[in-house]
Structure 1
């Protein structure tokens, strides 16, 4: 089961992005500077942005969903309970997972953006998909909620998870690291071997590497554990 970006070329005006690689089973982290094309590539992989050339091959993927950065784009239910039911999910459990207990009768679009993001991610990540594409899933969330989303992602309920983000503080464990650099998608490789090659790595990882530690994954706790092992 995988998504194959087969010699993709994406363009908008004078801007172009080249992508060639296979997103197989596991958690993939795609990073790059603001404006590098993360959202455009996410949209192309989801089938809502037409590439200038190349193709997207979905092998064994029949159920795919894209989470866009701004959650209001996804709203279809007038009330919070209507929104949850539109995903065919249990209302009480989903409210608990999103930290919105007791708000089932609120108008969905009267929630704050952070609350709406929590609701949307609880619905999307609680639904069965072969592949999920998450564009800036941590935007608008505090550290507690970011950790909650990371824990859900790490459960690996969805065979293929692709995260596009510039988050530098709270990240889930990942299997493969990708990076957009000078208009090209580059696969840095599988974790942990890919970590030293990751140019956009969070400071806590680069600091650990500078001190000679070798984190087993990309989370802050992985960097701390690597430093503790080194000094034990």
Structure 2
């Protein structure tokens, strides 16, 4: 489906002058490298501003690194789209009036014939559980449904690598379960799935691997079972194994 190799990625941003003096830059990513084999589900953890979203924008081809390379090996000809990125605000990716129209947008731009587009749309709707909403106004879907719709657009184009950026943001319990069921399905289909989140307690059990970014650097890369043995708080990540035994425990301290 799609293996991914990231080598020595650096990225800085010019943030202008400081106190009217010299120009200043912010280092978003510093020498980040890793490989992901095809069909793997990898969760990336890290506090806000750790560099997760910048890194995935580079992998998806939206941003260019200052240095380093990204290679996606999936059998798709060079120049064609290989990576799908579902933004935290999935609504911003909706282009069609209905889910059917929205999903068809990508395949049509690829020049597929009508029958192939219709088949791709039907399949993507079924895989994401949106068949019953295929002609529903897309803007009025729930948060979880909008994220599933964004993934359906990637599935319709048969993209081998799918990235979800903070997929649980602003979702209720039902929405979280819907997203996780979709992740399970993507894993079964052999897609390479990357999830960026600081809510690791909601999905770490689905991960084949866990990578932590902290202040632009990769500080942990290993099995999820090993991750929870680390002092995650040193990277401003709450350990998901914290226990709740009484109402008084239900406060994040």
Fold shared by both chains (TM-score > 0.5)? yes
Q: Distance in 1 between matches of 2:149 and 2:47?
A: 27
Q: 1:130 to 1:198 in 2, by over 3 A?
A: farther
Q: Distance in 1 between matches of 2:68 and 2:226?
A: 29
Matched, 1:109 2:110: no
Matched, 1:205 2:205: no
TM-score, length basis structure 2? 0.68
- Tell which has more relative contact order, 1 or 2 (C-alpha 8 A, sep 6+): 2
Q: Counterpart of 2:44?
A: 30
Moved segments of 4+, more than 6 Å: none
Alignment gaps of 5+ in structure 1: 208-232
Q: Counterpart of 1:58?
A: 71
Point out the structure with max Rg over C-alpha. 2
State the superposition RMSD in angstroms: 2.8
Q: Counterpart of 1:7?
A: 8
Alignment gaps of 5+ in structure 2: 16-24, 77-81, 108-116, 244-253
Q: 1:197 to 1:125 in 2, by over 3 A?
A: farther
Q: Which moved more, 1:93-102 or 1:173-182?
A: 93-102
Q: Distance in 1 between matches of 2:159 and 2:120?
A: 17
Equivalent of 1:133 in 163, 170, 174: 163
Q: Counterpart of 1:149?
A: 182
Deviations 1:196-225 (A, max 9, x none): 236166644366xxxxxxxxxxxxxxxxxx
Secondary structure at 2:181's aligned position in 1? helix
Q: Distance in 1 between matches of 2:223 and 2:200?
A: 19
Q: 1:59 to 1:100 in 2, by over 3 A?
A: closer
Contact map agreement 1:65 1:132 (CA 8 A) in 2:
yes
TM-score, length basis structure 1? 0.73
Q: How does 1:36-185 map to 2 (within 5 A)?
A: 36-52=50-66, 54-61=67-74, 62=76, 63-86=82-105, 87=107, 88=117, 94-95=124-125, 97-125=127-155, 128-141=158-171, 142-158=175-191, 160-171=192-203, 172-185=205-218
Contact map agreement 1:125 1:152 (CA 8 A) in 2:
no
Secondary structure at 1:169's aligned position in 2? helix
1:15 Cα deviation from its structure 2 partner? 2.2
